[in-house]
Homo-oligomer: A and B are copies of this chain.
């Protein structure tokens, strides 16, 4: 099976798990569940669940039995997008080519949909805690990656440094928290569940996350992003911190190559079966997927 076929297989597992869980998102009044599902089912590459399934497979954890971790990851990612898109934050009217949550359901409902998805994700994690100590460690790992010492610190830093300016090290810390922690979490969780090398997992996951954010910035800068609504709200775009703005285009490309190299070294340590991941690294570096 080639890279694309394997990615598609993991993507189908992710979609299936997400859709099965969505059936439980029926609340009264119905608008709450509708707004949660609207954003959760809006598609995307599902890279976090895909990474989780791939690492479980490569290291020997039972991905199917642990699929609620994949769903929790996507719920947390989705809540962060809903809140990010709000007028007070990035003020984005579109997300993945569709009107953003608050454009459809209003700001108040969008705030609650985000809160509810975050709460729902943690409820899945708490339920998984019954299964054993590895599951409890995996749940803690995601919790720390998503919280005030992880993703939310990154979002806060994004606000702060966009206003006050950032040094090179500020930008890297911002990338690590805002993007890399939640991309590393599925890799680390898979390693925890399989009793694998968690240090190598974190090395790979964080380097991949930083690479992901850098190539995102490079795409934006080179105007190659074809995705409607992927661009920032106009009023915020001017101040947006990107690696290109801090390092210049050439050094950013060099840095991206360095992070791709780091990913490669770490994955060789982490997993014997690493073909899929080596292709994934190339795909993220070149953004050809």
Residue ranges of A at the interface with B (Cβ–Cβ < 8 Å): 25, 27-29, 31-33, 36, 79, 83, 86, 88-89, 106-109, 111-112, 114-116, 118-120, 122-123, 125-127, 129-130, 133, 136, 139-140, 143-144, 146-149, 152-153, 155-157, 159-161, 173
Contact B148–A32 (Cβ < 8 Å):
yes
Closest chain B CB from A109 CB (angstroms): 7
| Partner among B27, B127, B153, B155 whose Cβ is within 8 Å of the Cβ of A153 | B27
Contact A126–B129 (Cβ < 8 Å):
yes
- How far apart are the CA atoms of A25 and B148 in the complex, in Å? 8
Closest chain B CB from A118 CB (angstroms): 6
Closest chain B CB from A110 CB (angstroms): 8
Contacts of A28 in B (CB 8 A): 153, 157, 173
Closest chain B CB from A42 CB (angstroms): 18
Contacts of A173 in B (CB 8 A): 28
Contact A115–B112 (Cβ < 8 Å):
no
| Partner among B88, B108, B148 whose Cβ is within 8 Å of the Cβ of A27 | B148
Nearest B residue to A106 via CB reads B88
- How far apart are the CA atoms of A146 and B120 in the complex, in Å? 10
- How far apart are the CA atoms of A31 and B130 in the complex, in Å? 36
- How far apart are the CA atoms of A153 and B148 in the complex, in Å? 25
Contacts of A125 in B (CB 8 A): 122, 126
With A111-B88, A112-B156 already in contact, the answer to whether A33 and B139 are too (CB < 8 A) is no
Closest chain B CB from A138 CB (angstroms): 10
| Partner among B33, B122, B152 whose Cβ is within 8 Å of the Cβ of A112 | B152
With A27-B149, A147-B119, A173-B28 already in contact, the answer to whether A139 and B126 are too (CB < 8 A) is yes
Closest chain B CB from A137 CB (angstroms): 9
- How far apart are the CA atoms of A139 and B79 in the complex, in Å? 22
Contacts of A152 in B (CB 8 A): 32, 112, 115-116, 119
Closest chain B CB from A248 CB (angstroms): 25
Q: List 13 A-B contacts (CB under 8 A).
A: A25-B148, A27-B149, A29-B157, A83-B111, A83-B112, A88-B108, A111-B111, A112-B152, A116-B147, A119-B147, A126-B143, A129-B139, A130-B133
Contact B160–A146 (Cβ < 8 Å):
no
- How far apart are the CA atoms of A25 and B126 in the complex, in Å? 22
